[in-house]
Copies of this chain bind each other. A is one copy, B any other.
Amino acid sequence: MTSAGPGRPRHQQPSRPGATAREEILDAAAELFTTQGFASTSTRSIADAVGIRQSSLYHHFKTKDDILEDLLEGTVSGGLTFARAVAALPAGTPQTEGLAGSRLHAVALYDGTQLCTARWNLGVLYHLPEVRSTRFARFLNDRQELRHLYGELGGGLSATAAGPDGGDFTFRLVESLIYLRADGAVGPDSPLQAADAGLILCGLGRELPAIRAASRSLIDRLA
């Protein structure tokens, strides 16, 4: 593996997932940000971890903030795209009618699965003081839109629930998977349990078996 073949050898063999240097940089940065901390990680140490020169890194990302923005955006973009598709389904299509709550359940299950299975647990960076700046407006706006979609899909479901906003509780339960994972306590069923809990808070606990089945078929169809 490490023997030099023909042609100009790289400084180091690629050891990271990612088809491109850009993806390798993102992967190395994600590892360092989540294990050493964002402020404590230099662009130099990211370049070293990839096995490239710092000047090559600057070819792809002008600043460390640019790298962080890409990584944060990556934690919400999949869930947001899916939630937009689910929210855009016309009411009354075979996939949605008769099962109030299956759309919210599908979004929670899909989003939560992404948060639990992504290679690095980047959600722990959401509340860094550094991330409050307008510099990260794209990520902050996308996370806000995702949160609103949860609220929209949960709206009107809570006929029997005591809570005022089952959709927002579902969003919070899904994001709590980030911290469950950081505590080493996440299991394969955790995303489904979080989605189920959200629907219980919407007052639909008794319909869960049917909702789960409709949610799965929505994910199969749209994801």
Contacts and interface: CB of A to CB of B under 8 A. Distances in A.
Contacts of A36: 129
Given A163-B193, A169-B197, A200-B201, 11 more contacts: A35-B129, A37-B38, A37-B39, A124-B127, A162-B197, A162-B205, A163-B196, A163-B197, A172-B180, A173-B173, A201-B201
Contacts of A205: 160-162
Contacts of A96: none
A209 B176 CA distance: 27
A43 interface: no
A128 interface: yes
A182 B143 CA distance: 14
Contacts of A38: 37, 39
A40 interface: yes
Nearest to A172: B176
21 contacts: A36-B129, A37-B128, A37-B129, A124-B127, A126-B179, A127-B179, A127-B182, A160-B205, A161-B205, A162-B197, A162-B200, A162-B205, A163-B193, A163-B196, A163-B200, A164-B193, A172-B173, A172-B179, A173-B173, A175-B176, A176-B176
Contacts of A197: 162-163, 169, 201
A29 interface: no
Give the number of copies in the complex: 2
Interface string A55-69: 000000000000000
Contacts of A179: 126-127, 172, 175
A218 to B, nearest CB: 19
Interface string A125-165: 01111100000000000000000000000000000111110
